[in-house]
Chains A and B, each alone.
Chain A
Amino acid sequence: MNVDLNLLRYNPEFDSRPHFESYRVQADPMERLLDCLHKVKWELDSSLALRFSCAHGVCGSDAMVVNGVNVLACKVLIKDLKQPITVEPIRGLSVLKDFIVDMEPFFAGYKAVKPWLIVDESEHEPARERIQSQEERDRFEDTTKCILCAACTTACPIFWSDEEYVGPAAIVNAHRFIFDSRDTGGDERLEILSQRDGAYKCRTAFNCTEACPRGIKVTKAIQEVKRVALYRSF
């Protein structure tokens, strides 16, 4: 079938501002949007720039705004998209070229919440594994699924207007450790999240949860983090 695409193009070397260009390719309804973008790149205009790698929704490279909502281009099928399909780069991060945005501020937010297991270094490391029940493990299962694609963070209206806000993805990654029974860094992490740019910025718009391609309940995770932060009250 014919597939019509409107792509927001921008190459700072040649363009003064972003502009839409239209393309038509042939595709099967079961093909991914990523396949169609490849057809544009490989058959029509090789200068189209986008990030991609795994092509099945596990590496987090290709979040973009498709018909107004954040998705991974490799995880939506043509049959599910209204035509012409409008594709834009994710918002709130500066566009470097076409669909490639500057990811550094996103990773800075991630890093700010100390996204690693914090344990009491003075204690002896166990010789074998730490014991954790499957129930304790399940407590943070949802937030371990994050692939750092930025779909949530760049769907968040607070993030668009406030570049200091760490954003939903960072809080999701903090949640993954705060609710891990093995982690002892709760206080340091919650202190960071209780500051001005932390979890309280969230106004529960739910955009993030809708955007998450991994089906993580992002808003719920943020609420849970807020709640424990409140109990510890700094």
Chain B
Amino acid sequence: MTKRSARKIRWSFFVFFVPVFLWLFLMIVMPQIELLRMSFVGTDFYGESGFTLGHYAAFFTEPIYWLTFVRTAGYALLVTFVVLLIALPVSFFITKVADLKVTGFLMVLILVPFWVSELVRVYGWMILLRESGVLNKLLVALGILKQPVEMLYNDVTMVMGLVYTTMLFMIVPIVSVMESLDDSFIEAAHDLGAKKLTIWRTIIIPYCMPGIMSGSIIVFMLVLGSYLTPNLMGGKNSIWFTEQIYNQMIIYFNWNQGAAFGFLLLLLSSILIWVALKITGQDWRKVIK
């Protein structure tokens, strides 16, 4: 390579790199650093501010905080699992059963809900499910229900809402892996004596594991960090961890505590994902691809 073309490459590198770098640095890294700093700053009895681990300690000493996290993580796991359970057969249908024309249509069907903002979507659900909502009216009119029941504000509805809003993020990675699964693998397994369930267990799921793991991580993180759906649809006496952060920052105006919670959320969810990857024996490099 000549010197000149080497310089040219360096130029174009900077032209593309600098804006991306600035954007990343100013909009993402800087605020995070500031939040990280804040999470370690506390005001003592005399109003002097200084370094403290108190905000982090509070998470572990106050059961309300860590219990909220455990509950949130538990529900996130549950949602991830339910989403996976639905996404696997749906992806199989899209990639292996339906013919090409139907496949495109199905993908559009799965995508359409995401053209609407989350807020509008959740309100849509509320109109449908509330006591004076469409579904109740219909059921009463049909005589199935004597009087309307409140279907909102409980955890089942919330889980259903979260499953619905995150489904796409599971289906897309699984479909992309499953497309490359040669039909003859399935037939060969069948030929060698495997039943349908065995084929799923021994061939399809192991083959799709990278897609399953990346989909699961995305869904898990999305649910863990989601705010609108659990708060608008969830039960009154149960609280999501993001709500704790919101409360600290906006209601108690304790940004330092909120920042600490934010980082704890990041840290703990990363640990959970790392553990999950270790248990399933997946290589994170493959999963990210």
Q: Do A and B bind each other?
A: no
Interface residues of A (CB under 8 A from B): none
